[in-house]
Amino acid sequence: MEELFKRIHTEDIQENVFKLIGTDWMLIAAGMPDHYNMMTASWGTAGILWSKPVIITFIRPQRYTYELMEKQAFFSVSFFGKEHKDLLTLCGTTSGRDLNKMGIDGLSSVETPNGTIGFKEANLMLECRKIYFDDIKPEFFQVFDIEKIYPAKDYHRFYIGEIIQAWEKKPIA
Ligand SMILES: Cc1cc2nc3c(=O)[nH]c(=O)nc-3n(C[C@H](O)[C@H](O)[C@H](O)COP(=O)(O)O)c2cc1C
């Protein structure tokens, strides 16, 4: 990990988080080095909570990633350049139940000292410890058109991840 990425403070992340998450998309990875899975997400938020830097991901219960998120204390969120958009589309349209995403060409895993999975091709990776989760509850919607997003009533579970380390790709020497 340390050969390819350097540790940075979350305050030194230069990119606009709205663009990173909403436009460029993120890849959420969960699991163990010998059995992990990843999915694309474009809904989420990053900031400060309980005086900690956090990222909050929203995962529907039918995702394979959800199953792995439930089992592990750590997960990661990675951001890539435009050239990887096709791979993000693949990870966002195919389930790990149907395709072994560990074998996808162009997404090579890398492990942090803590055992969290990231990807060599990423520009930025946020290593997270799950510190809280809850499910979206329809009875609390204050704007009623949000319900339309859930015709199957598959309300997202959100995971608040404390960012224990931000890793930025080192420039190629
Ligand atoms: C651009 C994009 C954004 C997505 N955002 C989310 C999201 O925020 N939450 C979610 O549950 N699914 C989201 N998805 C859908 C999952 O990535 C998709 O269902 C994926 O196949 C799940 O993979 P898995 O079953 O291997 O976990 C998104 C898909 C795309 C293409």
Q: Which of 25, 62, 63, 97 to mutate to test the pocket of ligand 1 (most atoms within 8 A of CB)?
A: 63
Give the model's pLDDT for residue 144. 87
Q: Which domain holds residue 80?
A: 5-169
Task: Read off the pLDDT of each residue in 10-39 and give the average, rounded to a whole number.
Answer: 97
DSSP letter assigned to residue 170? P
Task: Work out which ligand 1 atom sits closest to the CA atom of 25.
Answer: 1
Residue 170 has pLDDT above 80, yes or no: yes
User: To the nearest whole percent, how much of the chain has pLDDT over 90?
Assistant: 97
Give the model's pLDDT for residue 172. 79
Ligand 1 near 45 CB (within 6 A): no
DSSP letter assigned to residue 21? I
Task: Read off the pLDDT of each residue in 134-149 and give the average, rounded to a whole number.
Answer: 96
- The pLDDT mean for the chain works out to 97
- Whichever domain contains 29, its CATH number is 2.30.110.10
130-140 in b/e burial notation, b at 16+ Cβ within 10 A? beeeeebeeee
Q: Which of 39, 78, 133, 155 to mutate to test the pocket of ligand 1 (most atoms within 8 A of CB)?
A: 39
Give the model's pLDDT for residue 155. 98
From ligand 1's centre to the CA of 57, what distance in Å? 11
Task: Read off the pLDDT of each residue in 132-161 and give the average, rounded to a whole number.
Answer: 97
